[in-house]
């Protein structure tokens, strides 16, 4: 099991990304923006980050 961080400002896209990853047995963390992602990363390590490249606020 790998830990994957999904970063996207769209709740729907985060959920659509999360579902198959969890079904494959991975632990999925979510962040709504880059600032939240940095907080998650400060609290622990992840194996993969899936990030929206067009996100406001970064």
Task: Enumerate the domain spans of the chain.
Answer: 3-51
> Which top CATH class is 3-51?
alpha beta
* pLDDT, tens digit, 9 for 90 and up, residues 4-50: 999 999 999 999 999 999 999 999 999 999 999 999 999 999 999 99
3-state helix, strand, coil in the chain (%, to 5): 40, 25, 40
User: What pTM did the predictor assign?
Assistant: 0.91
CB 55 within 8 A of CB 12: no
pLDDT computed for residue 58 by the predictor: 66
6, HSE (Cβ side, Cα atoms, 13 Å): 20
């Amino acid at each position: 099991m790998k830990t994957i961080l999904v970063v996207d400002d769209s709740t729907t896209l985060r959920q659509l990304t999360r579902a198959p990853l969890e079904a494959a047995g991975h632990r999925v963390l979510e962040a709504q923006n880059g600032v939240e992602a940095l907080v998650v990363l400060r609290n622990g390590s992840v194996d993969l980050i899936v990030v929206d490249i067009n996100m406001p606020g970064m």
